[in-house]
Each structure stands twice: as C-alpha cells, then as structure tokens.
Amino acid sequence: MKRVGFAILAGSIALSSCGGGSPAPAGSEPAEHEAAPTAATAENPHRAAPVRSVTISPQSAQAIGLTVATAGPATVREVLSLYGTIKVDTARVRTIAARYPGMVKSVTKNVGDRTQQGEALAKIESSDSLEDYVLTAPIAGVVTARMANPGETAGSEPLFTVSDFSQVWADLTLFPRDRVRVKTAQEVVIIASDGNARAPGHIALVGALGSAAEQTLLARVPLANAQGLWTPGQFVTGEVVVREESVPVAVQTEALQTLEDRTVVFVQGPEGFVPRLVTLGRQDTQTTQIVEGLAVGERYAATGSFVLKAEFGKRAVADED
C-alpha cells in the first residue's frame, strides 16, 4: 500500500451545471473519468496535476448547494467582537398616572397586551366631580407594568407602563484597551446569541455608562425592531468594523479547504474543479485575500466546496488500496 501524495489528490471534478463536463442522467451517481495529468510549472507552482474528473448532474449540484464565484477585488474588514444585551429605548417608555384622584372602576389592559395610542387602559371615577373619565395610552406599544385594579384608589402614583419596542438598543460592553478602536458612526452587525437574528447598525454612543466595578465602557447601537426580532434582556454579539482594506484578489472565506495540511481553493478548469494551493493574506469571516495562487477572473467553488474535498478524499482512499 502506498501513500498518495498531493499531486495525486489534485484531481478535478467536473460540474455540468457550472460549465464543465457533460450532464449526468438525473439522479445518477457521480461518474469517475480519467484526465490527462499535467505537471506543475516553475511559472505557476500552485497548479496541481489533475488526474480524475467526476461529472455531477445539475440536480445533484443544486441538492448539495455548490455555487461558483469569480475571484477579484474586494474589501476585507477587521472586526472586533463585543458582547452585550438588548435594552429598552428609554425615550420610548411612558408611565401613566391618573389625571385626577379617584377610584378605579375598570381596567381593560393587562401586562403583555398591545395598545394603540389613545386606546383605553382604565376607567376612573373622579373624587371631585364623581364623573368617570378614561385613562388612555399616550403611545402605541406593549403594556409592561400594571399597578391598577378595580376598586382601588388612584392617586399620583403610576398605574401603567407602556413601552414601544419598535426600536431598541444593543448595549455592548467595551473594555478600555479597545476604546481607541471604537468610535461613533462605525458600522456594526448585531447577532443574536442563538444566531437566528442579525441586523446592521451604527454605534451611536461610546461612553462611561458601563460598569465601574469591572472598569468597562458602553457602546450603544440603536436597532429598528418593527418585526419584534429583538427582546429586552436578549444576549447579543456586536461585530464592529474597526478597519477596512481593499485587496486586489479575494475569495469567499468558505471556499477555503485543507488538503494534506495545505490550504487550497477548488478552481474551475476545462475538465472540472482542480484544487489550487494558495497563499492567504488578510481575512475576515466573509472574505479572504489571496496573495498567490489565484488570478483575477478565475472561477472557483464557493459555497459547498467541502463536497469537492470529500470527493478527493474518497479517491485518495481508493488509490491507497
């Protein structure tokens, strides 16, 4: 049994829906083909020697989610991750008290109920005139506190709290060492702790409103919340863009794969996809600079490229046997 080197692993996979190979019958298994080997050259040592091609039907390509992108200029962003929670925008909270002292005759809203501006919350009988008047909501929102019950006496104390959650704050904890990197108006993406919600925003406030005990600062991001995706108390991560740099050649970060401990990109060629050794530069979660190994305009496997790696792994095992 012999070990198969990288040159053997560097076969090609032809994907008919992306311009390489012939379509396979619908629902068929991938078909293996021999391709003429080509040696790496001194001019381009990153080119690997293709020895096989596998044709995949368009249906299979769609099923595995394989997409193709074009290498080219892009912007790489350096991101600083901050952690925090969703808070109520205090400018959108109202406490409602009785206009005139009296007895609460009826209550029409409970905690958690939605209310419109001007909608009735309770009916109160004035102690002075003995006439009933209606206590209404000054804003649209959700009743978040109720301190009124029929038969009780209403004085100057608050009877209801109504909060408008259509805009909330993401309050992020900022450590002093990062203070110089974070400024107002910087772009930030807020991500829910469960990953089910994310939204872009900008830092509106950086200040000493954090924890004195922990020596932290506050970075505040207003978030539109008309769909109700963000709930006060929810844990979030804020990815703050602290630096941007344009690079001449880049790929989607998810396109990077590892073969024999070396980073490759599966490049689309005449006979299919070939793993190409690449040298990486700057990188973020979405985009990676390619310093060497890939030229502007070359097509490569982006989403789903791990499937191509798996195919090469299976071929390597077969060759070892």
Residue-wise DSSP of 145-173: EE---TTPEE-SSEEEEEE--SEEEEEEE
What integer pLDDT is reported at residue 116 of this predicted model? 97
Q: What predicted TM-score, i.e. pTM, was given to this entire model?
A: 0.66
Question: For the chain, which residues score pLDDT lower than 70?
Answer: 1-58, 61, 210-211, 313, 315-321
Residue whose C-alpha is closest to residue 99's, from 128, 70, 58: 128
Q: Rounded to 5 degrees, what angle do the CA atoms 293, 76, 186 make?
A: 175
Domain boundaries defined on the chain:
6-74+248-320, 78-89+166-245, 90-163
What integer pLDDT is reported at residue 52 of this predicted model? 53
d(CA 243, CA 81): 13
Fold of 6-74+248-320: 2.40.420
Fold of 90-163: OB fold (Dihydrolipoamide Acetyltransferase, E2P) (2.40.50)
Kindly report, residue by residue over 12-23, the tens digit of the pLDDT. Answer: 444 444 443 333
Pairing between strand 52-56 and 14-15? parallel
Length of the chain: 321
Distance from first CA to last CA of the chain, Å, rounded? 6
What integer pLDDT is reported at residue 16 of this predicted model? 42
CATH number corresponding to 78-89+166-245: 2.40.30.170
Element housing 62 (H / E)? helix 58-64
What integer pLDDT is reported at residue 114 of this predicted model? 97
- What pairs with residue 219 in β-bridges? 172, 206
What integer pLDDT is reported at residue 305 of this predicted model? 85
Q: Tell me which residue has tokens 């608050």.
A: 158
What integer pLDDT is reported at residue 113 of this predicted model? 98
